[in-house]
Chain A
Amino acid sequence: MKESRARTAPPHGGVVPALPPEQGAVVREVIVRLQQQPGALLPILHAVQDAVGYVPDGAVGPIAHALNLSRAEVHGVLSFYHWFRREPPGRHVLHLCRAEACQALGATALEEHARRALGTDFHGTSADGAVTLEPVYCLGNCACGPSLLLDGELHARVTPQRFDALIAEARKA
């Protein structure tokens, strides 16, 4: 589901979206725990995403402040890496491999099937909010493709039928 909030940066002097209290507590805890390590920004962003499900815009300011960076620098890193999400995902996240070894085993057809079955393109979420579809380029399962990660769990030799079964199972859970 798309957030209704506009994605544009706040105007100069504008208000950065505040974090809801529970997210704010998570972000503060992560910062305190990790900020002392060298090159702490990626570990912090990972920890926030693991806890919250994504990296909310409101987390950028506190992280920048703690690491003595500008908000633009944190935003730059956050938006550079494909793994980080800036909007809440669906209840499940599906990373579908698009790379050559999986292509050799029918990944392009599986990709078409996935888009149709979920009714969304990559980076989108199915209308019922169940599954967010993300592309990924290699999961290291290249002798047994096509491959996908569903909530961090690797699946091998995924046919369209197997895909449907996995999604049906996830929707029930």
Chain B
Amino acid sequence: MSEPVTVYVPRDATAKALGAERIAAAISAEAARRNLAVRIVRNGSRGLFWLEPLVEVVTATGRIGYGPVQAGDVTALFDAGFLGGQPHALRLGPVEDIPELKRQERLTFARCGVVDPLDLADYRAHGGLRGLANALALSPDAIVRTLTESGLRGRGGAAFPAGIKWKTAQAAQADQKYIVCNADEGDSGTFADRMLLEGDPFALIEGMIIAGLAVGATMGYVYIRSEYPDAWRIFSAALAAARAGGLLGDDVLGSGRRFHLEARLGAGAYICGEETSLLESLEGKRGMVRFKPPLPAIKGLFGKPTVINNLVTLATVPAILDHGAAWYAGYGMGRSRGTLPIQLAGNVRRGGLIEKAFGVTLRALIEDFGGGTRSGRPVRTAQVGGPLGAYIPPSQFDIPLDYEAYAAIKGMVGHGGVVVFDDSVDMARQARFAMEFCAIESCGKCTPCRIGSTRGVEVIDRMLAGVERDRNEALLRDLCDTMVSGSLCALGGMAPFPVLSALDHYPEDFRRPATGKAT
């Protein structure tokens, strides 16, 4: 047999859910039947989910894509000569030239879907570990300065400057410090953390090692949600590969520097995405929000100085250390520097991951990238920033995605999730769900969140039942005000945003003829 042809079949959770395992098996079986040498690599996803399962074949002219492939297509693909990149109805051409991918700025996701996520040599061949090599030659101060100058802000949602957080932890004196990665990606409409865990896990590991070098931490934890079983399995395997490859341990790549890393599994509590609650959970306790101060950077995990960052933040660090602060800061607008991995989700034709410099508009995302709704009906709203984010009406679709611009319209960019709804959506039901979700997920520590969310559901139910609508609307707004001002963390403090945006932009949905009794 000749040199094997390399075929990429993603092992990403969404690709698997759409049949990627069966396709990998079918390609393998068909190749054996035809006595053809094929090497199947299980990559992550490119994030073009409407094309998944997206099979890529390595040819003399680059990687040629075919998708979405179903197991029944495999024989026909072989007949058509797809191993040579030949024409077929599913042929997409060179993957890098697919318009929705070509128009992106992939900095954090440069390798996702490209490399074998568990092959350290492949990671290195695609620019991996260059940031770490640079960091090992720099002083801790210089690493923190690079991060600060890049303008990188926390991608979990709070958008706090990462450099300042690191500086605070660096200045703290302690016998032990920790780096914690928040991979408790609970926001509906988001999957960026999951994609990196499954598609480029070494980038996170490298970023956490660099964070350790910067602040003097030798131990790290990655807190992954239990709802991500595939991400957990792949990241656990990546950890083992990193240890075996000398990337983690007492002597990181022969530098004499120490960094150990462990993964921990969450247990289905949305609140554990809040950083202090996550630390409590890592300590083996109920995920109750802590009062701040003290900041985690001063007194965090097990009472020690701790850098806790979102996964995307940490996975962006290696690229910044590789290419420099100015390179990263050269993207974006205003105080929102760099790129945002936007996750286009919900009722949209072409959903997926779109990494773009800050400043792109919802209209461009939903219409140009997304191609409108999957149902074919008109777009009525998009919820941006997860379950605590505002519902944005089409009249605001031209506002650039930027932390400050969104704050100005009482919205938030958050972790970059955009959930599209068509005109069949009932905004009063969505408002009710926001309160219901807050009631289910509240940790219970502060009263406005614990009690307010339940009262919120009741008030909305009364409005929907047609009971004293004006009085109840005033009461709901008053309740929202109390929650916003009086809650300890963002759960109770922001759950009113979707409620108020629904009330402000879609008042007619709260004033339909009552259909049932108040529950």
Listed in ascending order, the chain A residues whose CB lies under 8 Å from chain B are 37-43, 45-46, 67, 76-77, 80-84, 95, 99-105, 108, 136-145, 147, 149, 152, 154-157
**Other-chain contact of A140, B185, B287, B351, B383 (Cβ < 8 Å):** B185
Q: Is A77 within 8 A of B188, CB to CB?
A: no
Q: Is A155 within 8 A of B286, CB to CB?
A: no
Q: Is A80 within 8 A of B286, CB to CB?
A: yes
Residues of B within 8 A of A102 (CB): 188
| With A42-B265, A152-B229, A154-B230: A142-B18 Cβ-Cβ less than 8 Å | no
A-contact 0/1 string along B214-229, CB 8 Å cutoff: 0000000000001111
Q: Is B352 within 8 A of A143, CB to CB?
A: yes
The smallest beta-carbon distance between B99 and chain A, in angstroms, is 17
The smallest beta-carbon distance between A64 and chain B, in angstroms, is 12
Q: Is B187 within 8 A of A42, CB to CB?
A: no
Inter-chain CA distance A138–B266, complex, in Å, is 14
**Other-chain contact of A81, B264, B267, B347, B351 (Cβ < 8 Å):** B267
Inter-chain CA distance A19–B392, complex, in Å, is 53
The smallest beta-carbon distance between B95 and chain A, in angstroms, is 18
The smallest beta-carbon distance between B163 and chain A, in angstroms, is 28
Q: Is B16 within 8 A of A154, CB to CB?
A: yes
Q: Mostly helix, strand, loop or mixed at chain A's interface?
A: loop
The smallest beta-carbon distance between A96 and chain B, in angstroms, is 12
- Sorting the interface of chain B by its residue count into under 10, 10 to 19, 20 to 34 or 35 or more gives 35 or more
Q: Is B18 within 8 A of A156, CB to CB?
A: yes
Q: Is B305 an interface residue (CB 8 A)?
A: no
Residues of A within 8 A of B387 (CB): 99-100, 137
Q: Is A104 within 8 A of B419, CB to CB?
A: yes
Q: Is A143 within 8 A of B344, CB to CB?
A: yes
Q: Is A143 within 8 A of B345, CB to CB?
A: yes
A-B residue pairs in contact (CB < 8 Å), sample of 9: A42-B264, A80-B286, A81-B268, A99-B189, A104-B346, A142-B190, A143-B344, A145-B346, A149-B227
A-contact 0/1 string along B237-280, CB 8 Å cutoff: 00000000000000000000000001011111110000000000
Inter-chain CA distance A103–B110, complex, in Å, is 31
A-contact 0/1 string along B392-420, CB 8 Å cutoff: 00000000000000000000000001011
Q: Is A137 within 8 A of B50, CB to CB?
A: no
Which residue of chain A has its CB nearest to the CB of B344? Answer: A143
Q: Is A143 within 8 A of B194, CB to CB?
A: no
Residues of B within 8 A of A137 (CB): 186, 188, 270, 387, 437, 440-441
Residues of B within 8 A of A104 (CB): 345-347, 419-422, 425
Q: Is A101 within 8 A of B346, CB to CB?
A: yes
**Other-chain contact of B419, A101, A136, A156 (Cβ < 8 Å):** A101
Residues of B within 8 A of A105 (CB): 346-347, 374
- Residues 345-381 (chain B) with a chain A CB within 8 angstroms: 345-348, 351-352, 374
Residues of B within 8 A of A67 (CB): 284
A-contact 0/1 string along B7-18, CB 8 Å cutoff: 000000110111
Which residue of chain A has its CB nearest to the CB of B178? Answer: A38
Which residue of chain A has its CB nearest to the CB of B443? Answer: A80
Q: Is B227 within 8 A of A100, CB to CB?
A: no
